[in-house]
């Protein structure tokens, strides 16, 4: 939950679309779903080819836009500083080199993480005119070891937690690690009760469980409308058949 156990609010559902501003096609797919009412919040990328236009759209349509920190894809805007691209490329190369890189603290990249993190926060402020109320990460790398151990996530903000898995979905070691990270997050940041991906959409029992939890808990569903299957489900309004009576709200809605 975002808040204390003693003051638990009624459940609500946050439908959050990632990669806002990555490119014009991705932004448009998300915007279609925002207008349909099936996406209630977006996670905005900066220093990408459509970041400036997407920010203007978010401000025009009053879309709840958090910062989607990017440490795994090269920046594509032409306006970026050369030094920033060099630092970003070092981080991208490291984190994409092997699947466990995110779990290991790399002291040689500490200054690069500092620089890239500060640059993305500054760029968000320039585009959106305020500090981000919430943060998450492309490929969830906002929870990589360097970001966490360097204390780069601003305290008091809403930060995306780890995905929620059942026992049969992940090993005990995997689930224990995720719980430890979430516990550490909750001491300095605010997190929701549960986080899920929208896909796979053919697992109806899974969807029923997710939306059932949202009746009593704060649940975030991460979605990518640029994926055709997810776009059809959201833009056609199929979501509403699953969420009757639920509170669909922005991620930064007042408590």
140-153 pLDDT tens trace:
999 999 999 999 99
Partnered with residue 221 across adjacent β-strands are 15, 196
Distance of CA 123 to the CA centre of its chain: 17
Average pLDDT, the chain: 92
Look at residue 7 and tell me whether its pLDDT is greater than 90: no
Length of the chain: 255
Look at residue 209 and tell me whether its pLDDT is greater than 90: yes
Residue 171: band (very low, low, confident or very high) from pLDDT cuts 50, 70, 90 = confident
Lowest mean pLDDT among 13-22, 76-85, 97-106, 233-242: 76-85
Rounded to whole angstroms, the Cα distance separating 191 from 220 reads 10
Q: What is the mean pLDDT of residues 4-14?
A: 64
CATH architecture group of domain 5-241: Alpha-Beta Barrel (3.20)
Rounded to whole angstroms, the Cα distance separating 168 from 207 reads 16
């Amino acid at each position: 939950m975002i808040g204390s156990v003693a003051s638990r609010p009624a459940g609500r559902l946050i439908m959050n679309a990632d990669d806002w501003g990555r490119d014009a096609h991705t932004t448009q797919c998300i915007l279609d779903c925002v207008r349909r009412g099936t996406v209630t919040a977006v996670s905005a990328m900066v220093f990408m080819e459509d970041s400036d236009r997407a920010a203007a759209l978010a401000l025009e349509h009053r879309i709840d836009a958090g910062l989607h920190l990017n440490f795994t894809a090269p920046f594509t805007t032409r306006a970026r500083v050369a030094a920033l691209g060099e630092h970003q490329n070092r981080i991208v190369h490291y984190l994409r080199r092997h699947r466990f890189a995110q779990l290991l603290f790399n002291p040689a990249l500490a200054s690069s993480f500092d620089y890239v993190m500060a640059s993305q926060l500054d760029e968000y402020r320039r585009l959106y005119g305020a500090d981000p109320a919430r943060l998450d990460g492309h490929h969830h790398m906002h929870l990589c070891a360097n970001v966490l151990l360097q204390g780069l996530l601003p305290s008091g903000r809403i930060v995306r937690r780890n995905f929620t898995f059942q026992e049969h979905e992940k090993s005990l070691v995997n689930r224990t690690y995720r719980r430890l990270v979430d516990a550490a997050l909750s001491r300095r940041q605010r997190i929701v009760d549960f986080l899920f991906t929208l896909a796979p959409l053919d697992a109806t029992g899974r969807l029923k469980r997710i939306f059932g939890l949202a009746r009593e808990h704060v649940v975030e569903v991460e979605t990518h409308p640029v994926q055709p299957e997810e776009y059809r489900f959201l833009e056609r309004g199929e979501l509403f058949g699953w969420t009757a009576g639920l509170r669909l709200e922005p991620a930064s809605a007042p408590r």
